[in-house]
Amino acid sequence: MNISTGILLLDKRLGGGIPSGSTVCVYANPVSMPEVFLYQFASAGFTFYFTTSRLPKYIVEDMESLGIDPGNVEFIDVFSKYYLSESGGFIIEDQYRDRDIFDFVDSQLSRIDIRSPVIIFDNLSFFLNLNVPMGLKEWLVNKIYATTKNLDGVSYCYLIKGSHSKEIENIVINISDVVFDIDSEKSGDKMVNRLGIPKMRRMKPIDETFRYYISDGVQIDTSRDIA
């Protein structure tokens, strides 16, 4: 069974979507607006959206501004849990919070009990940059992977390019079933956004890249990249 990406023309190229049970590494340059891909993925089914860098209300505003309905999204607010005190003020210093946030995510992943959910980590880089042992970071990656397999869903883990050592990047890319490589390049006086999918378990990898632009979500440039 395949699970839709929420992007019609991408689903068509993938033969219906992403194979269920897949962990997808969204390996992206933040300049390329990869968060819009995440919003689009969240539109494809009931979604558990782990947000680390902003409050959920701002993500909802962004989704709605692009015409994407957030009604089937349950946000897990890692941002508030990590950065804010019970009174709403920012936590200045807490030597235990880096470890504690892993316990919070563990409990939230463990409570998911619906079949074929979409799980989004926006972003996974947040956890990989925390001051905890490497073993705990590897545990989280494996927890996401196992949860996705057990629930027969799809998880999308946004990994910010240039934020990690090659060792950490390779751990995530190695375990991932699918890799979306999202980047921008300068072409003349314009910036061109491109999506590549160099890795896909259970499907033939795609050796072409797709141009895309942002307008009411992600729009694949059909005139140039898909016949």
Q: Domain locations in the chain?
A: 2-225
Stretch 164-187: mean pLDDT, rounded?
Answer: 93
Per-residue pLDDT of 74-102, as tens digits, reads 999 999 999 988 777 787 677 789 999 99
Residue 224 has what pLDDT? 52
Tokens coding 116: 């074929």
> What is the reported pLDDT for 222?
64
Per-residue confidence (pLDDT) for residue 188, from 0 to 100:
75
Residue ranges with strand state E in 85-189: 118-122, 154-160, 178-187
pLDDT at residue 8, as a whole number: 92
Q: What is the mean pLDDT of residues 28-54?
A: 96
Listed range (36-50, 125-139, 194-208) with the worst mean pLDDT: 194-208
Residues 6+ apart with CB under 8 A from 90: 83, 84
Q: Is the pTM of this model over 0.85?
A: yes
Is the pLDDT higher at 55 or at 208? 55
Kind and range of the H or E run holding 39: helix 34-42
CB 172 within 8 A of CB 124: yes
pLDDT of the residue at 86:
74
pLDDT, averaged across the chain: 92
Report cis status (omega within 30 of 0) of the bond before 123.
yes
Q: 2-225 falls under which CATH superfamily?
A: P-loop containing nucleotide triphosphate hydrolases (3.40.50.300)
Specify whether the CB–CB gap between 214 and 221 falls below 8 A: no
The shares of helix, strand and coil residues in the chain, as percent rounded to the nearest 5, are: 35, 30, 35
What percent of the chain is predicted at pLDDT more than 90?
80
For residue 55, pLDDT over 80 is answered with yes
* Cβ atoms 78, 104 nearer than 8 A: yes
